[in-house]
């Protein structure tokens, strides 16, 4: 069964979310419906754990690397000396 969205505002919102998340509009609709089904207590088929973990790994890999705001080492920030004391 195909899903037809006749609400232009809803269609634009789904497209904006898809672009922001880097996924398809179909994926946005699927995740939204699965989330709502979970909130409402409706049983929904979940993808296998392996697929969910792979999707999570892709999301984590997509997060850009950032350099720390503070260039000091952890020990310098906490105030430890070379012997582990304060």
12-65: pLDDT as tens digits: 999 999 999 999 999 999 889 888 888 888 877 777 889 889 999 999 999 888
Look up the domain containing 30 and give its range: 8-59
Cα 64 to the center of its chain, rounded Å: 13
| C-beta atoms surrounding 14 within 10 Å | 19
Note whether residue 81 is domain-resident: no
Q: Given a cut of 70, is residue 1 above it in pLDDT?
A: no
The model's pTM is 0.49
Residue 9 has a pLDDT of: 95
End-to-end Cα separation, the chain, in angstroms: 67
Note whether residue 43 is domain-resident: yes
The structural domain count of the chain equals 1
Note whether residue 20 is domain-resident: yes
């Amino acid at each position: 069964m195909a899903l037809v969205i006749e609400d232009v505002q809803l269609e634009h919102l789904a497209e904006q979310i898809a672009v922001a998340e880097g996924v398809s509009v179909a994926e946005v609709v699927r995740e939204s419906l699965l989330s709502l089904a979970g909130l409402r207590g409706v049983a929904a088929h979940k993808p296998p754990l392996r697929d969910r973990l792979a999707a999570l790994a892709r999301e984590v890999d997509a997060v850009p690397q950032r350099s720390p705001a503070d260039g000091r080492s952890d020990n310098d920030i906490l105030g430890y000396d070379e012997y582990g004391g304060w």
